[in-house]
Amino acid sequence: MGAKRINKSRRRFLKKSVVAGGTILATSGLKPFSVLIFAAKEPEDTLNPWYGIGIDIEKCIGCGMCAKSCKLENDVPQEPFYFRSWVEQYTIKNDGTIKVESPNGGIDGFSQSVPDNEIFKTFFVPKMCNQCAKSPCTQVCPVGATYESPEGIALVDEEYCIGCRYCIQACPYGCRYLHPEKKTVDKCTLCYHRITKGLKPACMETCPTGARIYGDLNDKDGELSLFLKKHNCQILKPHLNTGSKLYYNELSAEVR
């Protein structure tokens, strides 16, 4: 009797071990598939910078200097179809309808076409690459020409891009365009060539009101972290789960 019981319990133990072992093996085997889900990685090394951007909508006056300086700094074509950064003017009318405008990306400034008595509220929203942590653009690039820098900035290798434009389709924020001469995709790099030298991105350098800040999200005492602490910030299209690192304070629900 006793020997039988031992045998039974041994069999049970073996069964359980096999099941547990199998589960561990299957889980470890499945782990590589996570690469299929998200192209980008989380900041592994918290000692290195992990950049994000903050935009203080209350401070933006819609002067368009950010969009203008971006084009000049980064050789973005001057035609009104190509932007790494632009400004939108939102006007919510008393009847609830929304009017959005961005003539030439806001470079030439704005004029209000809605009569004052019809306006419920109006504000400016600067737009640029959201530098997503789970960037859909990086995910879809078939050759890896769009990649993420160690600092969490999505970049395009123009020597490698094949110009398929899948990344343009995948970006929910309309932040990419095909360069008309180079025939490769271009986008905001957060002025990578400047920030790696300790300079500010061009749009932030020229913003007269300091409405734009960028910084290291790992630095909890940094300017961006303080901005995030002080304000109730939101990102664009949060339901898409792109891991956007472009934070707006006082973002109105009408903004998309």
Binding site residues, another protein, CB under 8 A: 35-39, 79-83, 86, 88, 98-102, 104-105, 127, 136, 139-144, 160-166, 168-178, 180, 182-185, 240, 256
d(CA 35, CA 13): 35
Q: What type of residue sits at position 124?
A: F
Measured from the CB atom, the residue of 114 and 164 that comes closer to another protein is 164
| CB 236, min distance to another protein, A | 10
d(CA 110, CA 121): 15
Q: Three-state SS string across 103-116, please?
A: HHHHCCCCCCCCCH
In sequence order, the 6+-apart residues with CB closer than 8 A to the CB of 127 are 85, 86, 87, 88, 173, 174, 175
Q: In this structure, what are the phi and psi dihedrals at residue 125, rounded to the nearest 5 degrees?
A: -130, 105
199 DSSP 8-state letter: P
Measured from the CB atom, the residue of 13 and 120 that comes closer to another protein is 120
Q: Please report the DSSP string for 218-240 in residue order.
A: T-TTSHHHHHHHHS-EE-SSGGG
d(CA 236, CA 70): 21
Token digits for 232?
């109730």
Measured from the CB atom, the residue of 123 and 227 that comes closer to another protein is 123
| CB 95, min distance to another protein, A | 16
| CB 251, min distance to another protein, A | 14
d(CA 246, CA 212): 10
* 3-class DSSP state of 221: coil
Measured from the CB atom, the residue of 92 and 228 that comes closer to another protein is 92
| CB 141, min distance to another protein, A | 6
| CB 164, min distance to another protein, A | 6
| CB 61, min distance to another protein, A | 19
Measured from the CB atom, the residue of 76 and 228 that comes closer to another protein is 76
Measured from the CB atom, the residue of 156 and 211 that comes closer to another protein is 156
